[in-house]
Amino acid sequence: MSTPAVAMTIAGSDSGGGAGIQADLRTFAALGVFGTSAVTALTAQNTTEVRAVHPVPAEMVVAQIDAVLDDLDVRAVKTGMLAGTEIVDAVAALAAAGRLPNLVVDPVMVASSGARLLDPAAERRYLEGLFPHARVVTPNLWEAQVLLDREITTRAGQREAATALLASGPEVVVVKGGHPVGGERGDLGEAVDVVATAGGTIELRRPRIPTVNNHGSGCSFASAIAAHLALGHDVMEAIEHAKDFVHRAVAGGARWALGAGHGPLDHLGWEREEQA
C-alpha cells in the first residue's frame, strides 16, 4: 500500500463517540485517509444530552496544530467546534497565514436543540476571520440563520442564505438541509443541501431516512469533504462524494439501538458487511 494522504480535524471531543473528533477520525479512516487531530474542547455527553464542556486553552490548540503540521504532509483541514473567540481567532490566524490547506469550516455554533453554543463575538469571527480562507463552509439551517440574523423557512430562503454567505469569501458554501423546510417542492421525503458557488446554486437531494440515529451527520459530511480534498478530488466532486458517504452511513446505522437518544452513524459500513 502506498503512503496514505493526511487530513486534520480541529474540533471538540465527543465522549459519546458519535460526533466531533471521533466521527471525523472514523470518516477519514473509512475513506482511506490518515487522520490527525487538534482537540479544542472536552465534552461530557451521550446520545441524549451534553452535560459539560471544557474548552482547551487556545495556545494548546495551536501547539497541537503546529506539532502535526511541522511533521506531516497535511493535505486538508476540517474545523468543527472551536468553543470560543480565542480559539476561533487562533485558527483564523493560521488560516490567514496559509497553513491550513483545503480548509473546510463546519461552523458548529448551534446545538441540535437550537441553543446557541457561542457568543455573538465568536460567531462574527467565523464570518470575518475563517470564512475568507475556506474552500468550503458547511452551516446547517440553524447556523445559517445565526450567521445572517434571519429566518430560513423556505427552499428559496436556503438558496438566498447560501449565496449571501458566499459573499464572506469562501469558494463554496453548502447550507445543509438535514431539517426540513418548505418551498416550491417541499422536502419532507428528501434531505436537500443547497450548494452556492460563483456560478450559482445547485441542490443535492437524497431520500430522507426515517431514523433518530443522525448524531454526527454534519461533522461527518464536513470531514468527508476534507478527506476527498486530501485525496485530490476537485471541490464539487468532494461535496458530492461526501453527500453519498453520509447517506450510506445514516442508512447503515438507522436501526441501531446505541443509547436512548440520537445514535451515531455507521461510518465503517458494518451493516453492509453483515448483509454481504
Tell me whether residue 58 is in a domain: yes
- The amino acid at residue 182 is G
- Does 1 reside within a domain? no
How many domains does the structure of the chain reveal?
Answer: 1
Euclidean distance between CA atoms 161 and 175, whole angstroms: 8
Has residue 186 got a pLDDT over 60?
no
Calpha distance 169→226 (Å, rounded): 18
pLDDT of residue 183: 52
Please identify which residue in the block is written with the cell numbers 486553552: 57
Would you say residue 69 has pLDDT above 70? yes
Q: Would you say residue 111 lies in a domain?
A: yes
Cβ neighbours around 115 below 10 Å, total: 9
Task: Give the strands of the sheet with 172-175, arranged side by side.
Answer: 50-55, 34-45, 6-14, 74-79, 103-105, 136-137, 172-175, 190-197, 200-207
- Rounded mean pLDDT of 78-99? 96
Asked if residue 260 belongs to a domain, the reply is no
Task: Work out the average pLDDT over 174-196.
Answer: 75
pLDDT band per the 50, 70, 90 thresholds, residue 122: confident
**Residue 46 CB contacts under 8 Å (≥ 6 apart), including other chains:** 15, 16, 259, 261
Q: What integer is the mean pLDDT of 139-147?
A: 93
Tell me, yes or no, whether 57 lies in a domain: yes
pLDDT at 123: 85
Residue 181: band (very low, low, confident or very high) from pLDDT cuts 50, 70, 90 = low
Give the CATH number for residue 70.
3.40.1190.20
pLDDT of residue 185 exceeding 70, the answer is: no
Is position 53 within any domain?
yes
pLDDT at 62: 98
Mean pLDDT of 51-76: 97
* pLDDT of amino acid 237: 98
Q: What's the chain's average pLDDT? A: 92
pLDDT of residue 13: 96
Cα Dmax for the chain: 51
Q: In which domain, by residue range, is 163 found?
A: 6-210+217-255+265-271
Is residue 276 assigned to a domain?
Answer: no
Q: Which residue has the higher pLDDT, 111 or 140?
A: 140
Query: Per residue in 207-258, pLDDT tens?
Result: 999 999 999 999 999 999 999 999 999 999 999 999 999 999 999 999 999 9
Entry pTM: 0.95
Task: Say which residues have a Cβ less than 8 Å from residue 139's Cβ, sequence separation at least 6.
Answer: 106, 107, 147, 165, 173, 174, 175, 176
pLDDT given at position 119: 78
pLDDT at residue 255 in the model: 95
pLDDT in the model for residue 1: 75
Residue 77: inside a domain: yes
Confidence check: pLDDT of 115 > 50: yes
